Amino acid sequence: MHAPKLEGRNAIVTGGSRGIGRGIALLLAEHGANIAFNHYRDGEKAAQTLGEIEALGRKAYQAECDVSSVPGVRQFYADAKAALGAIDVLVNNAGHNVTSKFEDITEEDFDRMHGVHVKGTFFMTQAAYPDMLTRGEGRIINITSQLAYKGAGLLTHYASAKGANMTFTRSLALECGGTGVLVNAVAPGVTNTDLLTPLAQELLDNLRATIPLGRFAEVDEIAPAALLLAAPEGSFFHGTCISPNGGEVML
């Protein structure tokens, strides 16, 4: 019987208490990884996810952390590293979503959206990256969105943030080529998670109508893309994006 793909590896998954983040955290744990994850005002589900990871026989650590706070991000990384050891895999998944007409988006709305998605991804990566460089290995996986490719009305601030993360992925991959650190992205199509709750029904219907498979994804159809990028089989992926989107965007 083969050893688990990620046995002895330590991973951080931001926004790991629910949705795609939870699915990724549990799948990586199933394949041998110890998991640290943060949540934001989601203590009950965080405790549940922590217990599920530990039930798989893995070490686990969770804490509340607003990824838009740089001091908070740095403290979370330090605490996760102290709890698990050197971090081998970073999955920047934490997300925030709300629909709004472009003309109604306030500076506060914009700052929150970009703070969670762009600032959080950038500075969590900056926290983990030097240690990976020193060891000459590491996997950074940024969860973006198919909307980074096609955009969406009523989601201009969300889609622009996801587009920024896509460009960040490519730019860092160019900078760190040959160092042993691999940087990639996953751009899921619309997925059945809590992030859909605040979206207008009209928007959901319009989004579904654009998908050739005629439905939204389930979390367990998205998480394997992150596993591939974290596992030994993902060793020749760099600066690329895997986009499980039901044919909504054909690259």
d(CA 26, CA 233): 19
**Residue 158 is a catalytic residue:** yes
Phi (first) and psi of residue 11, to 5 degrees = -130, 145
Q: Is 210 exposed, middle or buried (0-12, 13-18, 19+ CB in 10 A)?
A: middle
Contacts of 238-241 with CB under 8 Å at 24 or more apart are: 238/173, 238/177, 238/182, 238/183, 238/184, 239/169, 239/170, 239/173, 239/174, 239/177, 239/183, 239/184, 240/184, 240/185, 241/144, 241/166, 241/169, 241/184, 241/185, 241/186, 241/187
> Which residues are annotated as catalytic?
158
